[in-house]
Structure 1
Amino acid sequence: MHQINKITIKDVAREAGCGVATASRVLNNSGPASAQVREKVEKAAHDLGFSFSAIGRALQSNKSMTVGCIVPSLVNPVFAEAVQGVQSVLLGSGYQLLIASSNYEAKADEELIENLLSKGVDGLLATVASPSLSNALKLAKTRNIPISLMFHDPLDGFSTAYVDNFEAAREVARQFAHYQHRKTGFLTLRFSSSDRSRNRYAGFHAECKALGLNDPILIELSEADANMPQKLALVLEGYSDLTAIFASNDFLAIAIQKAMRLLNKRVPHDLSVIGFDGIEIGRLLEVPLATIETDPDKMGQQAAKTLLKKIQGEVGEQQPSLPFKFRTGATIAPPRANSHDDDQVAPRSPSIHLTKRLLNKG
């Protein structure tokens, strides 16, 4: 039998005409190298069929060559797209991505981060309920584990890839004002523990006030109620004087449309709705969703690039906020002439008849 000689990094360096240290830097993506040298090393590795073992790298550098990533949900395409952006940056870097989903639970955030730390990850990418209150993130910092946040507004001690939630929400208020809406609401989940929701409400409230609109009504839902159209319909019936609602994410905006149909009402004829995120499915609805459109893929890319710099000992500086834009849809229109958007109608509780009808449907 013929013995097959294992290709080593020395073979790659010899083929590329460079030193072993240079070849190692290129293949590990761990230091500077000219484009010409990088091309030669990568071509030599490819031609020779060289594979730099992740285990070998980890042993050599005393690193696990893994990056932990925690997001609230992988069902919500916004977070899935961000993870895709992260993966596109890490691909070819030698780092493996370990993904965890907390289902929007602060307690799960803590447990999952601690679990990732126990696996010896070299860095963390995170979207959590409240980074400033997270003991697990504080633990990671005391261990000098590089951290890069996604979706969170800037926070002392952390770098983050984000959209300016305050400014984006001001645009929502301007759109409602353009269509002559005065009585509006802000629908959200977990308001007290979500910095994203709080900043969106703050921007929305500030611009409504600046434009002379009524202060927006804050409507907070539980996860269970948000996922049950009958319950959401009952909540909306209690705010029937509102002519427009800003939903803190697109899923809630879509849920409003279904709930309004249960009330035998229509969006935007009876209620205008604007969402936040710009998920693609919003374009495909029978009534396409008006929303604040962001680019979560770029957000994930930016966060991953910052994290890699930190892991390699460079300064991961805070980058400017990523752009957003208002995406025109069919869920916004002027209030109906008989909507009485004149501050005279107080929110009313759902009628007994309506309650029985909706709960019977459940």
Structure 2
Amino acid sequence: MDARQKITIKDVARRAGCGIATASRVLNRSGPASAEVRARVESAADALGFSFSAMGRALQGGRSMTIGCLVPSLANPVFAEAVQGVQEALSGSGYQLLIASSNYDGEADNDAIATLVAKEVDGVIVTMVAPEKSAALSDARGRGLPVSLMFHDPIDGFVTAHVDNFTAAREVARRFADLGHRHTAFLSLRFSSSDRSRNRYAGFRAECAARGLPDPVLIELGELEADRPELLADSFASLKDVTALFASNDFLAIAVQKAARLMGKSVPQDLSVVGFDGIEIGRLLELPLATIETAPHAMGRQAAQTLLEMLQGKACVQRPPLPFDFRAGATLARPRAESRDDDQGTAWPPSVPSLKIAQKQG
């Protein structure tokens, strides 16, 4: 064959000894084929140097062959790992990934969705402030755009790849209770805008109640406090009885340890700390972090696989939550009641102005 001649799907089918439709299904990964036929078609395509033109496929199928992926942040390794999982699941499918991030901002979420729709993506994979309330996402779905969520707990009308935040948080409360902690706190950033954080608090509180423990103190942080441990220390001012703290993510749990040191307190002797997510850096700390380990890479893969099924016209059902593990770490121990400052008549932490403390009553 003349090297200058354009190789077509017809040439591949002829060399593989199958029909054009079969060759197309194999190379598009759009339908069933036996392992033997698939091997013949792929071998023929390799020998001829054939590859589909993405533009040609888009024109042929009315698709852009692009997928939009919106996450709150790429600086957080949890979301970066999930995006990596999405990319791996899409590998070989012919789809390209367009990535956007919103910095946990609802308006930025809507702007990003609108931009992705304007670029005519064929579907979106999203983690955002409130998918069920997003006008832009509602408009996109109204146009028939497939949507796959990740990290979100199940929401009516959506399919999501997720971990059971409520159940995972109950495990943290069980660990605290089993070690003898009675007075606990839950630390969160963006509590009002994060369904994950709210469900973690709900599960933590439910298990505390089941164990006969007082309601955990809910500490809602501002952006400034989360970035400055000295201000975080200030926000602990009224927590004189608390011996165990559950942070809604690992970054906050790490910041808590720095804040405790600034107050002259030790983790875990004076304060046990548990995080959520299981980021790798938590293992590398001088005191490896106790945390709930999740599987963000698997979450991204599942979300992408769900979207591919939607694009193939398959009926999608909500999959069970992905597994989690409790990593014991070195920041969790029994409370050292005999050396607590409040036993000596002094409040713990030292009395300083409080910033944002909110306690939920039972």
Which TM class, normalised by the smaller chain length? over 0.9
**For 2:168 and 2:175, how far apart are their aligned partners in 1?**
11
Deviation for aligned residue 1:257: 1.0
Letter matched to residue 309 of structure 1: E
Task: Name the SS for the 1:129 alignment partner.
Answer: coil
Task: Name the SS for the 1:291 alignment partner.
Answer: strand
The answer to whether the 8 Å contact 2:186/2:245 transfers is yes
Between the two proteins, what is the percent identity of the paired residues?
Answer: 65
Deviation for aligned residue 1:237: 3.4
- Which residue number corresponds to residue 359 of structure 2? none
**For 2:346 and 2:108, how far apart are their aligned partners in 1?**
42
- Which residue number corresponds to residue 325 of structure 1? 325
Q: Deviations over 1:168-227 (max 9, x none)?
A: 000000000111111000000111111101110000000000001110000011122101
Change in 2 beyond 3 A, CA 1:351/1:16: same
- Which residue number corresponds to residue 231 of structure 1? 231
- Which residue number corresponds to residue 151 of structure 2? 151
Q: Runs (4+) of structure 1 moved beyond 4 Å? A: 344-349
**For 1:18 and 1:11, how far apart are their aligned partners in 2?**
10
The answer to whether the 8 Å contact 1:243/1:335 transfers is yes
Q: Deviations over 1:32-70 (max 9, x none)?
A: 222222222112111211121111111111100000000
* Alignment size in residue pairs: 352
- Which residue number corresponds to residue 359 of structure 1? none
The answer to whether the 8 Å contact 1:335/1:341 transfers is no
The answer to whether the 8 Å contact 2:181/2:334 transfers is yes
- Which residue number corresponds to residue 91 of structure 1? 91
- Which residue number corresponds to residue 9 of structure 2? 9
More displaced, 90-99 or 11-20?
11-20
- Which residue number corresponds to residue 55 of structure 2? 55
Change in 2 beyond 3 A, CA 1:271/1:348: closer
Deviation for aligned residue 1:340: 7.1
Q: CA RMSD in A?
A: 2.0
Deviation for aligned residue 1:236: 2.2
The answer to whether the 8 Å contact 2:226/2:252 transfers is yes
**Which TM-score applies when normalising by structure 2?**
0.93
Change in 2 beyond 3 A, CA 1:246/1:3: closer
The answer to whether the 8 Å contact 2:125/2:307 transfers is yes
Deviation for aligned residue 1:347: 7.7
Letter matched to residue 116 of structure 2: L
- Which residue number corresponds to residue 310 of structure 1? 310
- Which residue number corresponds to residue 265 of structure 1? 265
More displaced, 230-239 or 247-256?
230-239
**For 2:83 and 2:227, how far apart are their aligned partners in 1?**
24
**For 1:350 and 1:17, how far apart are their aligned partners in 2?**
82
Unaligned segments of structure 1, at least 5 residues: 356-362
The answer to whether the 8 Å contact 1:273/1:290 transfers is yes
Letter matched to residue 216 of structure 1: P
**For 2:60 and 2:27, how far apart are their aligned partners in 1?**
13
- Which residue number corresponds to residue 279 of structure 2? 279
Task: Name the SS for the 1:186 alignment partner.
Answer: strand
The answer to whether the 8 Å contact 1:253/1:273 transfers is yes
The answer to whether the 8 Å contact 2:240/2:342 transfers is no
The answer to whether the 8 Å contact 1:182/1:341 transfers is no
Q: Deviations over 1:213-272 (max 9, x none)?
A: 110000011122101111112112332431111000111101111111211222112110
**For 1:3 and 1:41, how far apart are their aligned partners in 2?**
20
The answer to whether the 8 Å contact 2:236/2:349 transfers is no
**For 1:339 and 1:173, how far apart are their aligned partners in 2?**
21
- Which residue number corresponds to residue 339 of structure 2? 338
- Which residue number corresponds to residue 351 of structure 1? 352
Task: Name the SS for the 1:70 alignment partner.
Answer: strand
Unaligned segments of structure 2, at least 5 residues: 356-362
Change in 2 beyond 3 A, CA 1:262/1:347: closer
- Which residue number corresponds to residue 102 of structure 2? 102
Task: Name the SS for the 1:237 alignment partner.
Answer: coil
Deviation for aligned residue 1:110: 0.7
Task: Name the SS for the 2:236 alignment partner.
Answer: helix
Letter matched to residue 222 of structure 1: G
Letter matched to residue 323 of structure 1: P
The answer to whether the 8 Å contact 1:126/1:150 transfers is yes
**For 2:298 and 2:117, how far apart are their aligned partners in 1?**
26
Task: Name the SS for the 2:339 alignment partner.
Answer: coil
Change in 2 beyond 3 A, CA 1:220/1:39: same
**For 1:333 and 1:347, how far apart are their aligned partners in 2?**
18
Deviation for aligned residue 1:11: 1.2
The answer to whether the 8 Å contact 1:66/1:95 transfers is yes
**For 1:189 and 1:341, how far apart are their aligned partners in 2?**
28
Letter matched to residue 308 of structure 2: L
- Which residue number corresponds to residue 290 of structure 1? 290
- Which residue number corresponds to residue 162 of structure 2? 162
Letter matched to residue 234 of structure 1: D
Kindly indicate whether residue 192 of structure 2 is the aligned counterpart of residue 192 of structure 1. yes
Letter matched to residue 146 of structure 1: P
- Which residue number corresponds to residue 360 of structure 1? none
**For 1:326 and 1:266, how far apart are their aligned partners in 2?**
22
**For 1:121 and 1:92, how far apart are their aligned partners in 2?**
17
Kindly indicate whether residue 31 of structure 2 is the aligned counterpart of residue 31 of structure 1. yes
Deviation for aligned residue 1:345: 8.7
Letter matched to residue 339 of structure 1: R
- Which residue number corresponds to residue 172 of structure 2? 172
Letter matched to residue 208 of structure 1: C
**For 2:36 and 2:86, how far apart are their aligned partners in 1?**
27
